[in-house]
Structure 1
Amino acid sequence: METLTETDFGIVINGKFHKIEWVPELIDSLSKKVMNNIIEKIEEQLKNTPTKQVVAERNYKVRQVATMTQKSVATITNHCRIGLLKASKVGKSWLITEENYLSYKNNVYDPNQVIRG
């Protein structure tokens, strides 16, 4: 009786195992083709996906904007609170992006902007 291993491939007919020698090579070949196909698709998607360049945006605190605009901290804080200067509330502080600071400094504002009260 022939001893079988876990890597033997074949078929059982009438209770007898018939070894098929070419199955491992076929599986290896198909696996390589499948993997190459997957790799090609991933590479194609990467080529067609636009890359985003991360640009670090400078942020300012109220005190910095007050110094740069020669206004008081209270005035800048109030302008943040009422929406005249667009800013994000982080904890108890306000964070102002460079873009919003420049708009504020150059007195550029959206006339449709709702001022919070």
Structure 2
Amino acid sequence: MIAQVFGAAFGLLAVVFGAFGAHALKRRFTDEQLQSFETGVKYQMYHAIVLIVVGQLCEETATFYQAFTVLFIVGTFLFSFSIYGLCLSAAFGNKLRFLGPVTPLGGLLLVGGWMLLLYQFVMAL
């Protein structure tokens, strides 16, 4: 259930942030910032969908489910939200540089979640 809750919340926020970026921030962002912001939104939505689907198909008590859920929730938060923070802070004149190393850490957690998902599928063959 926790995967579906976070998946739905991430999906909702991805739509809100995507619209916000495309309309409210379009004039404020450079092309590079807009592209980075959109990358954060896309990755957030991809992982929202995966959390909902796999969360629906798996037993909540399974170790796989718990590990997968944590990796994708924390990874999505670190990856996408650090991109949002970097873009917004740069657009408003005070770039939060400490967020730079957070993005790849989030990406690494997402890769770990995908590796775990692949492992689970291969073991089910």
Which is helix-richer, 1 or 2? 2
Higher Rg: 1
User: TM-score, normalization: structure 2?
Assistant: 0.24
Q: Could you tell me the TM-score, scaled by structure 1's length?
A: 0.25
